Amino acid sequence: MQAKKRYLILLSAGACLVLLFSLGGIQLPAASRSRHDRSRNGYRPDQPWPHFSDPLYPFMPWDQTDTEEYNLHISPRQKRDVNMSVYKGKRCRMDSCFDFSLCQKNGFKVYVYPQQKGEKISESYQNILSTIEGSRFYTSDPGQACLFVLSLDTLDRDQLSPQYVHNLKTKVQNLPLWNDGRNHLIFNLYSGTWPDYTEDLGFDIGQAMLAKASISTENFRPNFDVSIPLFSKEHPRTGGERGYLKYNSIPPFRKYMLVFKGKRYLTGIGSDTRNALYHVHNAEDVVLLTTCKHGKDWQKHKDARCDKDNAEYDKYDYKEMLHNSTFCLVPRGRRLGSFRFLEALQAACVPVMLSNGWELPFSEIIDWNTAAVIGDERLLLQIPTTVRSIHQDKILSLRQQTQFLWEAYFSSVEKIVLTTLEIIQDRVLEHGSRSSLMWNTHPGGLFAVPQYSGYLGDFPFYYATLGMKPYPKFTAVIHAVSPLVSQSQPILKLLVAVAKSQYCAQIIVLWNCDKPLPAKHRWPATSVPVIVIEGENKVMSSRFLPYETIVTDAVLSLDEDTVLSTTEVDFAFTVWQSFPERIVGYPARSHFWDSNKERWGYTSKWTNDYSMVLTGAAIYHRYYHYLYTNYLPTSLKSMVDQLANCEDILMNFLVSAVTKLPPIKVTQKKQYKETMMGQIHVVFMNILYHFAQRQTCMNKFASWFGAMPLVHSQMRLDPVLFKDQVSILRKKYRDIERL
């Protein structure tokens, strides 16, 4: 009898264990899964305990809906299996699936596979490849590459799309450098197809990284993949339109509080949220419009609300709503991402995200809480109350941040691609990666290059944020191209005048003359060090090299024939200390749009308007030497060197593109105009040819930047009015006032 009881007890216990295993109540260590890298949370295989600190999963998983039609196509078990097998390298991280040794010798270089014969590439993907090939990261030698990008179009992996590339699995596996995807980056905008829209790309990506739109937090591999925004084929390759905030007044009151206009999905994935929007719509300050009119057979599925919704939908103009609303709803579509996201950012309409489980674009670097409202699909009815409770000061701050993020990272395909590459470069060169402040404040991570410095105080943009002032001395860099044959030459007079400045720390003479260096005794004796550097290639761009001998924040850039007094130098530097992120100087020029020739024009006419201050007599931060040398493409610098012209225009383009501000012109001596114009006639015997060259340069530069970055200004700073108590210091800059 006792033996029989023991047998029954053992049998019951065994049955319970089998039941627990089958229901998932017990997990073996090897089978445990998490959407986070547990190695960072202290996880070890010998500790199979659950981590209760992990975030809860969404109430409704991203790939499941309760619709009858959807559940007919795929069972719950199949859903789980698809979700777990989307990427075989789901556990990949930089330290496990990336070969850092490829980046150690040549730095972060990117190789694009040559396009294969007969392979069609969409315009959007061609824009991505062209951006990489035109960037400073590009290398045509795979032996120098740290990262590889396919020439096969992987953007649209929806099998029903005409852009879908067939047999991609075989084509990728046959690539000689594929190496199971190691150190490869795959770009993708659309994946999956009706009805489930999974994130499977239709081929094994191996250990490759993904730059993917509409990626879920479930499948996103932190610090390995990059979430990118969904953008249309019309999205510009370079430049892009400016944000809409500049057209609006402050305080930030708009006609509507919350708007949306888009498709209503009657069945299938993504239908639940959009079908519920009519509960919140009030046709006054909350206008949420949907239409059933899309797809070939929408009338087969139309419900009782369709006719009314369609009629209401047609009453409103989408752009008018977008530009006149404070908040814009961004609900999920069939996939997690939506075109509404970028449209809202550009319109300075604060995005209200309703897409549970979406890994927001560039989430690794962008603090979206400063530019968007992150909602929950399950709490749709609370959204109007929530946005109405936000104070107008906070609203203005949110809208300003949307404009910064739009222009810094999203306004063009080029910026989206370069941001993706910069994020990966920061991981590879982790010791020099950018801080969150650099990414989330002006001018953004693309212009704050960590290879220059890891200290914020070395960049001119952060002085105000840090409460700092620039170092109160400057380094003069004089560009010399003529032989020294007389002691009365302008360069020697300029040396003496600059050396007498109370703010001058040192003078560098860049000898770009074909004649040998003059003997040391030929240079005048000065109270500050004079360092003569012989240019290696004797090219114009060498004047903007980041020479290690420049130890001050400020650089006073001078042509050899510039005529400046010590007083003028002192005043210009005093002004620059208040505007360290800008170019401050004397000779001003302007640009204009020539409607007859349909191109940009260049003028040196002395008018009230200017957009450039030439670097023949200007002060700026030394960081711009680094950006000029390392950020601008070789093609632009080669053009400048071949023409021996336009380097000053290119520097103005660069600084204005970074700051979004004009340079600052300071008042000079009355005779300065005649002196400078006389010199121009001597140096450039053919003025028309010289100007034609500069106009060609301007249009070439504007084409590369994607837009005209120069900003017009009418501000001139006069020594009498600039920070002076007129009655006491009236004659502080008396040489400038002298007729």
Give per-residue burial for 402-420: e unless 16+ CB within 10 Å, then b.
bbbbbbbbbbbbbbbbbbb
Residues 200, 281 within the same domain? no
Specify the higher pLDDT residue, 151 or 673.
Answer: 151
CATH code, 332: 3.40.50.2000
Residue 73 is predicted with a pLDDT of 45
Q: Are 302 and 265 in contact (CB under 8 A)?
A: no
Neighbours of 172 (CB within 10 A): 21
* Of 374, 395, 410, the domain-final residue: 410
pLDDT class of 724 with cuts at 50, 70, 90: low
What pLDDT does 8 receive?
59
pLDDT-based confidence at residue 361 (cuts at 50, 70, 90): very high
Q: What is the pLDDT of residue 691?
A: 82
Catalytic residue among 63, 200, 559, 648: 648
Average pLDDT, the chain: 84
Same domain, 615 and 487: yes
Query: Could you read off the pLDDT of 544-599 as tens digits, one per residue?
Result: 999 999 999 999 999 999 999 999 999 999 999 999 999 999 999 999 999 999 99
- Residue 466 resides in a domain: no
Range of the domain at 130: 76-212
Domains of the chain: total: 3
Q: With cut-offs at 50, 70 and 90, classify the pLDDT of residue 251.
A: low
423 lies in some domain: no
Which of 152-166, 253-267, 712-726 is least confident? Answer: 712-726
Q: Please give the pLDDT value at position 607.
A: 80
Q: What is 670-697 written as a DSSP string?
A: TTHHHHHHHHHHHH-S-HHHHHHHHHHH
Task: Say yes or no: 186 and 266 in one domain.
Answer: no
Q: What gap in Å lies between CA 562 and CA 555, rounded to an integer?
A: 15
What is the per-residue pLDDT for 519? 84
> What average pLDDT score do residues 25-54 get?
36
Q: Are residues 691 and 600 in the same domain?
A: yes
Same domain membership, residue 500 and residue 385: no
Structural domain includes residue 319: yes
pLDDT in tens, 291-311: 888 767 676 777 788 888 888
Could you tell me if 430 and 258 are in contact, meaning their C-beta atoms sit under 8 angstroms apart?
no
At residue 682 the predicted structure's pLDDT band, cuts being 50, 70 and 90, is: very low
User: Percentage of residues in the chain with pLDDT exceeding 90?
Assistant: 59
pLDDT in the model for residue 25: 42
Q: Which residues pair with 353 in a beta bridge?
A: 330, 374
Q: What is the pLDDT of residue 153?
A: 93
Inform me whether the pLDDT recorded for 523 exceeds 60.
Answer: yes
Q: Note if 648 is an active site residue.
A: yes
At residue 56, the pLDDT reads: 33
For residue 678, is pLDDT > 60?
no
Q: Are residues 582 and 641 in the same domain?
A: yes
**How far is the C-alpha of 374 from the C-alpha of 58, rounded, in Å?**
14
Domain presence at residue 4? no
461 has a pLDDT exceeding 90: yes
- For residues 722 and 652, which has the higher predicted lDDT (pLDDT)? 652
Bigger pLDDT: 87 vs 456: 456
